[in-house]
Amino acid sequence: MITSNRALIYIAALLCVHIHSGESPAQPATRPAPFENEIRAFELADQKQAPPQHAYLFIGSSSIRKWTTLAQDFPSAKVINRGFGGSQIADSTRYADRIVIPYHPDSIFFYAGDNDLAAGKSPPQVLADFDAFLQKVRPALPECDIYFISIKPSPSRAGIIEKGREANRLIEKYIQGKPHLAYVDVFTPMLGPDGKPPADLFVADMLHMNAKGYAIWVRVMAPLVK
């Protein structure tokens, strides 16, 4: 017992010395904001080769990031791909002043929302987040045409397909009649005769599209990417 008391006294004395020495305990490292590494990689790429101004900017989640044939699909247009996988609508809003506004695009094709629904957000919240994106971007790009690409259906997220349908309906209604703003429906043409998305439009994870799935998107958007 005496030995234990002496040990406690010794530890207490060391703590007093540490406090009076003016040293602060080590602070935990600050965690970077979500997707900061991906955004920084875009900025480094821009420094090496500046992307074209007044181009068609495609931004959003993994359905944009994995669109690796984007430039080949629209060969006569200047396109920029700034998709980052796993992102939600609010993430594009957070980084708009770094990977949207500096490019001064003539048109923005925006795809996000299904990750939001999968994370538990409601269709009205998806609409509110898209409105926040517009409020961030529109003052800097008043003449830019902004297209909301509808939330796509996918077999792996069949449980939220009705939420996707509702979010699309709310956003399409919100967009109607507003200048420089349009809704692009890829949801409907991606449904089969049974009202479900065919598995042959997707890779093995049944979430991300294969070439056949992207061919539908190209067909729908070709009249808009001139």
Specify the pTM: 0.86
Domains of the chain, by residue range, sit at 50-221
CATH class of 50-221: alpha beta
Average per-residue pLDDT for the chain: 91
Angstrom CA distances, 139 to 101, 132, 181, stand at 10, 12, 14
DSSP per-residue codes, 31-58: PPPTTHHHHHHHHHHHHHSPPPSS-EEE
Residue type, 95: Y
> Where residue 223 falls among pLDDT bands split at 50, 70, 90?
very high
Q: pLDDT digits over 11-50, tens only?
A: 444 444 444 444 444 555 677 789 999 999 999 999 999 9
Contact between residue 116 and residue 129 where contact means Cβ atoms under 8 Å apart: yes
Q: pLDDT digits over 120-138, tens only?
A: 999 999 999 999 999 999 9
pLDDT of amino acid 9: 44
Angstrom CA distances, 210 to 25, 69, 89, 173, 196, stand at 52, 11, 23, 30, 17
pLDDT of amino acid 226: 82
